[in-house]
Amino acid sequence: MSAGRILVLLLLAGCAGAPAVPVGTFRIATFEADLTPPLGHALCGGMVAPAARIADPLSGRGIILWSGSEPLVIAALDWTELRNDAYARWRSELARAAGTSPRRVLLSCVHQHDAPYADLEAQRLLDAQGLKGFHVDPEFHERAVQGLASAVREAARAPRTITHLGTGRAQVDRVACNRRVVVNGKATFKRYSKTSDPAIKNAPEGLIDPWLKTVSFWDGDRPVAALSSYAVHPMSYYGGGSVSADFPGLARARRQKEMPDVFQVYLSGCAGDVTAARYNSGDDTSRQALAGRLVDAMDRAWKQTSRAPLQKMETRIAELRFELPPEGPHSPAVMEKTIADPASSKSQRLMAALGLSWAKRVGRGEPIDVAVVDFGATQFLLLPAESFVEFQLAAQRIRPGGFVVVAGYGECGPGYIPTEEARGEGYVEEHGYCWVAAGAEDRLKRAIAEALTLQ
């Protein structure tokens, strides 16, 4: 072999960050970085008051997995959402840091509302309307991207061997309920995270996934990392300018303190139509109580964890495309008029900017990745946006003998992804924030089935 050829191989190995992993050998590295915004930065993308104080820090946390092929990254951010070019930027830079391809970065937001939210093209559209920085500060956004990428790069230098996969689950007590409530014979979806109307707040829980699921990675009998997922909107209260990871962040921090040697990652499941309203009074007492119930479920899931030798780690990706609403307030033609109308409110122009950014992506024909990591009897599935809980339950029905862990809030460009039944009952008219046309349910369910079904 020539000296030049040897040099090229050495350079390629250096870019990967970690030694090549022989087939049949599995390794892991964990990473985290602070993603707390500066005071004055927009929260929830400009939909609520900007950051005035820091109640608790926000972080990005995740794992890198090696199995003889390109590394795989799974990461969760304490941010509201990432959309379109912002989502692509994070995936690209984390992939570069890990020595892998962007499609092998499975990135999810926990979806707290007192946190940053990013769609860079939407901010450019707002800049043109004199609303510079209203949605996101691109400079802070890039610092956050590079901060987490640096953590990934550092972690990739020191992977450790894993030999076993653990799975455990526990029912969560008094946290989640469905938005949908029938009042006087008519369906309404007004059960928000905080709801004052007792007829709506105290209605039966409705359709939820009651299980918190934890997947853990072990080196023999030594646990290394745990990924837990539960489907509920992660808000007790928000909007007052107090940056917070809310009750899931508090629960994760408590769990990390209880188990300092086991790296903890929390992901929100498909919770577009699931909130904590029935058990939440919108105060700190409720926040602490909800966090405690989540910690309790994590503890019970851990105590009944079963381990098995890790023998498989395969990734499959189904491509998903949606159509745009052809008419109405979320159609491109109407949004163009809204964003250019100075009489429109800032929030209306923000919604138009978000929708137009998504419309540009759809126009370019760029698909959403619906990705699954198949560990054999266990599957980890990442779904886009604010998917309704029915999609999580549908995924589990496809693999009834498996242990299917679902994370939502991947690529968040589409906004809400409701079922057709909810659309027919007026969900989109009542809530807005939905930039996909009728028929989205079938498209998403077909992509889920494709990703989860062995070829």
Give the model confidence (pLDDT) of 369-402 as tens digits: 999 999 999 999 999 999 999 999 999 999 998 9
Whether residue 4 has pLDDT greater than 60: no
Residues whose CB falls within 8 Å of the CB of residue 213, separated by 6 or more in sequence, listed in order: 167, 168, 169, 228, 229, 230, 301, 403, 405
Mean pLDDT calculated for residue range 357-374: 97
Backbone phi and psi for residue 306, each to the nearest 5 degrees, phi listed first: -115, 145
Q: In terms of DSSP H, where are the helices of 31-113?
A: 84-98
d(CA 442, CA 420): 9
d(CA 254, CA 250): 6
Note the pLDDT of residue 124: 98
Whether residue 3 has pLDDT greater than 50: no
Q: At what angle do helices 346-363 and 84-98 cross, to 10 degrees?
A: 60
d(CA 234, CA 248): 6
Quote the tokens at residue 208.
């939820």
d(CA 9, CA 136): 40
Sole residue written with tokens 């040697």:
261
The DSSP output letter for 434 is B
d(CA 443, CA 449): 10
Q: What is the pLDDT of residues 415-443, one digit of tens each?
A: 999 999 999 999 999 999 999 999 999 99
Mean pLDDT calculated for residue range 70-81: 98
Note the pLDDT of residue 14: 35
Mean pLDDT calculated for residue range 343-360: 97
d(CA 259, CA 8): 43
Amino acid at 157: R
d(CA 402, CA 299): 22
Length of the chain in terms of residues written: 455
d(CA 218, CA 233): 30
R_g of the chain, CA atoms, integer Å: 21
Secondary structure class of 129 (helix, strand, coil): coil
Closest C-alpha to 232, from 116, 114, 111, 115: 111
Note the pLDDT of residue 356: 98
Q: What is the pLDDT of residues 331-345, one digit of tens each?
A: 999 999 999 999 999
Report the 10 Å Cβ neighbour count for 308: 14
Whether residue 2 has pLDDT greater than 60: no
Question: pLDDT band at residue 7, thresholds of 50, 70 and 90?
Answer: very low
Quote the tokens at residue 35.
């993603």
Note the pLDDT of residue 123: 98
Quote the tokens at residue 264.
């903890």
Query: How far does Cα 178 stand from its chain's mean position?
Result: 19
Note the pLDDT of residue 24: 67
What are the CA-CA distances from residue 366 to residues 56, 85, 359, 434, 455 (Å)? 36, 11, 11, 18, 24
d(CA 235, CA 191): 13
d(CA 453, CA 374): 10
Q: What is the pLDDT of residues 116-140, one digit of tens each?
A: 999 999 999 999 999 999 999 999 9
Closest C-alpha to 384, from 430, 451, 332, 335: 451
Report the 10 Å Cβ neighbour count for 381: 29
Element (H, E) at 155: helix 138-156
Q: Are 99 and 17 in contact (CB under 8 A)?
A: yes
Q: What is the mean pLDDT of the chain?
A: 94
Note the pLDDT of residue 20: 55
Q: At what angle do helices 84-98 and 138-156 cross, to 10 degrees?
A: 30
Of all residues in the chain, the percent with pLDDT exceeding 70 is 95
